[in-house]
Chain A
């Protein structure tokens, strides 16, 4: 009996108890759809997390002095010594590379912020280049006031963006003046008056209590340096990170003071753990779905075999081989898996599109500040993988009952009522 004939006969057999077949298909379809939607949610969460990190201040690549980079851990808010003196040449080299949208310089600072009425709060600050950050797609989440101007401010016209927790502690609003005090590389103290241009959120609750941002020129005035701490490279496509990393390393090789080029994924705080957590949740849900489908499917498969014991006996009597019987029953299960998965893929597609169209908002993820719009991703691998998984699961569920049916004693099966 050719595989085609087995497949045809199996399909006929599924048609004989339409209600039960429809029920099995519904179970498989629901399972597939659940996998597709869950994968869409996980992908959405990953992408959101990644974008938030990259466009929230990490950039795709970081270029820093190798010695300075090795001396600190991975965190957004740590200070780094202004170790890059020739950063303009380095930037020129990097901005010539493919996929690079812009390279922004950062100067990290730590110090004390004081309000006019004498309140003082410690801050972590970054001097940055708003025009380049805009080209890199960095987000500024303003709560009040306005963004930093694109052009470097003249001396005496310094401005800053304060994170909302910091502004609250200081009791200042946009338009008011605060005094920043920081240590210079020589170890002396220096102060700078800045106008609060706006109040922002970093998106990270903890960081919001201490963070401020000012133009690079202002930060350099405060720290009395012409160097920067690091350069951030923005790319037009996150998928090009690996290629850009290699290109940047090649372009910067052979410098006297070696530079470290680090991709965003190695710098993102907790990214690895969060990803593992989401993957763990996905695997856990997937396992539950598979177990439910196996339980429901093997039950109906066994029932459909029990109803046909006499027929199986007849087929065996007139010369059908054990392998042919088993293949027929397994083929029925494979059909259920394939047809159910097809229906499930359609269902999952509909669910993803429907949920996205509904414009749902998710509460802010742990540690984050803003609610997020739900935009489930369509993950092609989840459709293909879910379908294959369902066929596999159904086939596995059918193996044992099919093997049993193939081994029935013929005379007993013929007499079975």
Chain B
């Protein structure tokens, strides 16, 4: 391939605005955000609580729609996609990790990781093998048949990471994935996300207000009151 055709960034947002109506007042969660995130990047979205990190990640992940502005994922304007196409985008092109893990309690670790492949109709034998490999890659090869309630917080989040990557998405969106973990586990989970993202060539966007993680990110987008206060690239940072 020649470099003549410039690849579209994985995420591009323009003038993104999102308000919530609370009582009689409008709370501005995002007040005009412009941002571009390229293929394979690891980006930390930092900022104090209430600065709009979750709102931004929801909009990037086609979980919510902005009041104004546009979101492009792999060059496609989300506003032009129907419900079904947004579902397919999330199912095939994106992976999600949540602060509260959000595993399915009735499924064991392997079945949880397998789930994205199940809804996409991947044949059973193939998806079992891929889910097992994904669990191996997060160091939980021995815990496959454990249900979430028999796993520690750190283990649950590692299962969630395996679930977010098993279908080889283009990007993973992780909203405060370490918020419910102690610092040791937090670091491990972050490193795992970074390493697996790099390995798969996936773009990884992690929101956090943990300075330890911020310090390890090659790019940090800091939000304040729904605006991008700073966008630093630190190629020297090795996560």
- Contact partners of B118 in chain A: CB under 8 A: 1, 5
CA distance A294 to B88 in the complex (A): 35
Q: Does A243 have its Cβ within 8 Å of any Cβ on chain B? A: no
- Which of A5, A16, A410 is in CB contact (< 8 Å) with B63? A410
- Contact partners of B91 in chain A: CB under 8 A: 318-321
Q: Is the CB of A321 within 8 A of B63?
A: no
Chain A residue with Cβ nearest B87: A321
Q: Is the CB of A317 within 8 A of B83?
A: no
Chain A residue with Cβ nearest B90: A319
CA distance A316 to B87 in the complex (A): 8
Among the 9-residue stretches B39-47, B72-80, B104-112, B191-199, the one with 4 or more Cβ atoms under 8 Å from chain A is B104-112
Q: Does A23 have its Cβ within 8 Å of any Cβ on chain B? A: no
Q: Does B121 have its Cβ within 8 Å of any Cβ on chain A? A: yes
Q: Is the CB of B92 within 8 A of A319?
A: yes
Q: Is the CB of B119 within 8 A of A317?
A: no
Chain B residues numbered 104-152 whose CB sits less than 8 Å from any CB in chain A:
104-107, 115-116, 118-121
Q: Is the CB of B63 within 8 A of A320?
A: no
- Which of B64, B88, B104, B106 is in CB contact (< 8 Å) with A319? B88
- Contact partners of A322 in chain B: CB under 8 A: 83, 87
- Which of B61, B92, B104, B121 is in CB contact (< 8 Å) with A315? B104
Number of interface residues of A (CB under 8 A): 24
CA distance A68 to B163 in the complex (A): 87
Chain B residues numbered 89-107 whose CB sits less than 8 Å from any CB in chain A:
90-92, 94-96, 98, 102, 104-107
Inter-chain contact count A-B, CB under 8 Å?
65
Q: Does B6 have its Cβ within 8 Å of any Cβ on chain A? A: no
Q: Chain B: interface residue count, which band?
A: 20 to 34
CA distance A124 to B177 in the complex (A): 96
Q: Is the CB of A15 within 8 A of B87?
A: no
Chain A residue with Cβ nearest B102: A314
Q: Is the CB of A314 within 8 A of B120?
A: no
Q: Is the CB of A12 within 8 A of B106?
A: yes
Interface secondary structure of A, over-half rule: helix
CA distance A318 to B103 in the complex (A): 11
Q: Is the CB of B106 within 8 A of A15?
A: yes
Q: Does B84 have its Cβ within 8 Å of any Cβ on chain A? A: yes
Chain A residue with Cβ nearest B91: A319
Contact A319:B87 (CB < 8 A) given known A410-B64, A411-B58: yes
Q: Does A122 have its Cβ within 8 Å of any Cβ on chain B? A: no
Q: Is the CB of A414 within 8 A of B63?
A: yes
CA distance A384 to B102 in the complex (A): 41
- Contact partners of A320 in chain B: CB under 8 A: 87, 91, 119
Q: Is the CB of A319 within 8 A of B84?
A: no
Task: State the Cβ distance, A19 to closest chain B Cβ, in Å.
Answer: 16
Q: Mark A1-17, 1 if CB is under 8 A from B, else 0.
A: 11001000100110110
Q: Is the CB of B115 within 8 A of A318?
A: yes
CA distance A195 to B99 in the complex (A): 102
11 contacts between A and B (CB under 8 A): A2-B121, A16-B105, A16-B106, A311-B102, A311-B104, A318-B95, A319-B91, A319-B92, A319-B119, A414-B63, A414-B98
Using a CB–CB distance below 8 Å, which chain A residues touch chain B?
1-2, 5, 9, 12-13, 15-16, 310-311, 314-322, 324, 409-411, 414
Using a CB–CB distance below 8 Å, which chain B residues touch chain A?
58, 61, 63-64, 83-84, 87-88, 90-92, 94-96, 98, 102, 104-107, 115-116, 118-121, 163-164
List 20 other contacts, CB 8 Å, given A315-B115, A318-B91: A1-B119, A9-B107, A12-B106, A13-B106, A16-B106, A310-B102, A314-B102, A317-B63, A318-B116, A319-B87, A319-B92, A319-B116, A319-B119, A319-B120, A320-B119, A321-B91, A321-B119, A410-B63, A411-B58, A411-B64
